[in-house]
Structure 1
Amino acid sequence: MNLTYLVREPKIKQEKNPLLLLLHGYGSNEEDLFSFASELPDEYYVVSVRAPYDLQPYGHAWYAIHFDADENKFSDDVQAIESRELIIQFIDKLIAKYPIDETQVSLIGFSQGAILSYAAALSYPEKIARVVALSGYLNEKIITEDFKSKDLSNLKFFVSHGTVDQVIPVDWARKAEPFLQNLGLEVMYKEYPIGHGVAPQNFYDFKNWLENNNL
């Protein structure tokens, strides 16, 4: 499957440049997070990719969200795993097409895109170095079963959430930090007094984190 995407070439060209891959949330599209692109560090390829599932009347999703009779919502983990694999294949295609340093791939995911970012990085730590997980949570069911046996030592995470998020409760997001720390991973966790979105301070904090964690 060929995924639709937008690309901002690096303003500072190197022999091989690092990649920032932007993964949007449920019901959105590739243009959403791409609004960040001009503000992101100049040395990166910034690629924003559209999720594969079309929603009606508009927007896209990485996987379906269903509601049962009691209005509990649950995720289609089979579709989520398929999208996790699509993301990894897409990274390989980008590396083949552009002069990208395969050791310097970072994911920035919002909401459903953050959930997929956790899963992709922990399942394929050899492919991904850093994750910025915005307003999401860690779903262990969509990570490969053998992930704890892999070398996760290079992974770094920036995790943030709004304290009054009405879509994904902040309690869900808070579980990621101890989970990742128990794996011996470096995590920066921050909360902001907002709902389901990215506050300006949140943006500057993760941008600074990226610049301070150059590989």
Structure 2
Amino acid sequence: MNTSLTLQHITRPASKENAPLLLLLHGYGSNEEDLFSFTPEISEDIFIVSARAPFDLQPYGHAWYAINFDAAGGKFSDNDQARESMVLIYTFLEELKATYSIDPNNLNVLGFSQGAILSYGLSLSQPGVFRNVVAMSGYINEDIIAGRDGLSVRFRESEIKTNYFISHGTVDQVVPYAWAKKAPAILEEIGADYVFKDYPIGHGVARDNFYDMKDWLEKRILN
């Protein structure tokens, strides 16, 4: 565990210098060990970093932002905390480039649930920060995207073009499938390249889902 940078994290070094980076962002209530379980299956030519979210939950686990409930039982996200976490992730990326032997032009992110929501948010607020985004079991929260009105122009003018792999369970009981289905229209509007795949599961990652993602990601990262 490295605690010297903005976010606590664990790493799986690559087999070569100046390697592409894959940043893993876990979901609400989890930790950096969760998605890190993917690493044995992912090419050793990729430098993997799994980050811990900054907000501690009791009795255990971590979150990128709070999820609150109103008097009627409605659920809503703390968008201020979400934006704060996006700033932390961006700062963390800059620290990673200065600390590890990674290619600064080949930064990639894989997020699950809250991690996916922030992966969308940061990649759309800062076009070009990531080459590839994997968004699993998440959705685009337009309220946390900076400069939404000028996004199409900024995205098209970015030197690094971002590709998206989106996956979602059709019976997801945590993040509704209908929310995830809104992403393609937004990505088409800005001219982004994307793949959307669904699977007959709940809030999780099926075996087929993982291998579809792995095949898509490695082809784009390593070629």
- TM tier, smaller: over 0.9
Q: CA deviation at 1:149?
A: 3.6
What residue number does 1:196 align with? Answer: 203
Contact 2:24 2:36 in 1 (8 A): yes
The answer for the alignment partner of 1:68 in structure 2 is: 70
Whether the aligned pair in 2 keeps the contact of 1:23 and 1:48 (CA below 8 Å) is yes
Q: Deviations over 1:146-204 (max 9, x none)?
A: 43341346010000000010001100000001110111111100000000000011000
1:111 to 110, 113, 116: 113
Question: Which residue in the other structure is 2:97 paired with?
Answer: 95
In structure 2, C-alpha distance between the alignment counterparts of 1:149 and 1:196, rounded to whole Å: 34
**Displacement of 1:128 after TM fit?**
1.1
Q: What secondary structure is seen at the aligned counterpart in 2 of 1:151?
A: helix
2:8 matched residue in structure 1: 4
Q: Is the 8 A contact 1:121 1:129 kept in 2?
A: no
* Code of the aligned partner of 1:130: N
Q: Give, in angstroms, the shift of residue 99 of structure 1.
A: 1.3
Aligned residues: 213
2:56 and 2:207 mapped to 1: Cα distance?
Answer: 29
SS in 2 for 1:7: strand
Alignment of 1:176-191 (within 5 A): 176-191=183-198
Gaps of 5+ in 2: none
Paired position in structure 2 for 1:170: 177
Q: Which residue of 2 aligns with 1:160?
A: 167
- The separation in 1 between residues aligned to 2:121 and 2:153, in whole angstroms, is 15
Q: What CA RMSD, in Å, does the superposition of the two structures yield over aligned residues?
A: 1.2
Residue equivalent to 2:45: 43
Within 5 Å, which residues of 2 pair with 1:72-83? Answer: 72-83=74-85
Matched residue, 2:16? 13
- TM-score, length-normalised on structure 1? 0.96
The whole-number CA distance in structure 1 between the counterparts of 2:128 and 2:182 is: 24
TM-score, with structure 2 as normaliser = 0.92
